[in-house]
């Protein structure tokens, strides 16, 4: 097949899958489920191929062929192979307990990576950015903010940051009757933080919706162009 035929086949296949996904607007049907299974299967296959070519083959398979049986004595190879073999025992319920060590290690390392990434990639940069907003020399030259506009932006940022943090404060004093009492100022501030959180989620949802509509418009435009190309051809 020449490149034009391959491109036409890919376009038709893409349009067919798009129609299968959009068929859910009518109701749940076999075409939509087939499209979802296809996406999940392709994603899993792609992830497996990436894991094989970037981790397993260069890190565990190639060293065995390059260094022979002597590579087994290398702890950096022996320990991963032992964990992989133990993980395979998870296939059978009778031996699944033997794979608990490998599973616990994967979950622990994964959780540590996620938490570490959230702290170093999100929490600390946002904290430093919030602190930097109080420094006129760091922000004003790049944004052009001056006078009242600058003051209003700083006040909004401070109120939003403080009230949002107060919203997640769940401690309370115990009253003589045994009921939990919270300071009225804390309650009011928490409600303001709740408003800021709602606005943030609304903006995030609007961004996701906008991106989805752009993708949908692109897919519909491609379908229309394909129909005109087939009819005109």
First to last CA, the chain: 19
Higher confidence at residue 171 or residue 152?
152
**Tokens in use for 66?**
């390059």
Q: Please, which pLDDT band fits residue 137 given cuts at 50, 70 and 90?
A: low
Q: Is residue 59 part of a domain?
A: no
- Per-residue pLDDT averaged across 21-32, rounded? 87
Number of separate domains in the chain: 1
How high is the pLDDT of residue 162? Answer: 87
CA distance 77 to 54: 16
- Per-residue pLDDT averaged across 175-184, rounded? 68
pLDDT at 138 over 60: no
Q: Is residue 102 part of a domain?
A: no
How high is the pLDDT of residue 70? Answer: 67
Q: Is residue 92 part of a domain?
A: no
The DSSP symbol for 29 reads: -
Taking Cα atoms as reference points, which of 193, 128, 120 lies closest to residue 161? Answer: 193
Q: Is residue 66 part of a domain?
A: no
Give the DSSP letter string of 160-207: HHHHHHHHT----EEPTTS-EE--HHHHHHHHHHHHHHHHHHHHHHHH
Q: Is residue 144 part of a domain?
A: yes
CA distance 69 to 72: 6
Residue % of the chain over a pLDDT of 70 = 84
Residues spanned by the domain of 192: 133-233
Instruction: Count CA within 13 A, CB hemisphere, residue 90.
Output: 12
How high is the pLDDT of residue 65? Answer: 79
Q: Is residue 143 part of a domain?
A: yes
Q: Please, which pLDDT band fits residue 3 given cuts at 50, 70 and 90?
A: confident
Q: Is residue 166 part of a domain?
A: yes
**Tokens in use for 162?**
């403080």
Q: Please, which pLDDT band fits residue 2 given cuts at 50, 70 and 90?
A: low
pLDDT at 114 over 60: yes
**Tokens in use for 187?**
């309650």
- The pLDDT tens digits for 66-76 are 776 666 677 77
Residue 146: which residues within 8 A CB-CB, separation 6 or more?
A: 140
pLDDT at 129 over 70: yes
How high is the pLDDT of residue 201? Answer: 94
Q: Is residue 149 part of a domain?
A: yes
Average pLDDT, whole number, for the chain? Answer: 82
**Dihedral over alpha carbons 147, 151, 152, 157 (to 10 degrees):** 140
């Amino acid at each position: 097949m020449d490149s034009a035929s391959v491109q036409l086949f890919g376009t038709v296949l893409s349009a067919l899958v798009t129609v299968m996904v959009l068929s859910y607007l009518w109701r749940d049907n076999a075409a939509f489920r087939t499209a979802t299974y296809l996406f999940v299967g392709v994603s899993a296959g792609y992830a497996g191929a990436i894991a094989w070519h970037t981790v397993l083959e260069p890190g565990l398979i190639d060293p065995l062929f390059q260094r022979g049986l002597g590579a087994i004595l290398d702890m950096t190879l022996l320990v991963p192979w032992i964990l992989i073999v133990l993980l395979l025992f998870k296939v059978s319920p009778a031996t699944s307990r033997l794979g608990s060590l490998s599973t616990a290690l994967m979950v622990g390392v994964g959780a540590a990576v996620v938490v570490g990434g959230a702290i170093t990639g999100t929490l600390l940069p946002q904290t430093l950015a919030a602190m930097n907003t109080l420094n006129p020399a760091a922000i004003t030259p790049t944004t052009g903010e001056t006078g009242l506009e600058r003051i209003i932006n700083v006040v909004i940022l401070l109120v939003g940051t403080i009230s949002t943090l107060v919203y997640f404060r769940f401690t309370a004093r115990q009253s003589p009757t045994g009921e939990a009492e919270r300071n009225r100022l804390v309650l009011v501030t928490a409600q303001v933080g709740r408003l800021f959180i709602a606005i943030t989620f609304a903006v995030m949802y609007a961004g996701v919706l906008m991106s989805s509509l752009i993708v949908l418009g692109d897919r519909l435009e491609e379908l229309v162009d394909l129909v005109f190309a087939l009819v005109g051809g």
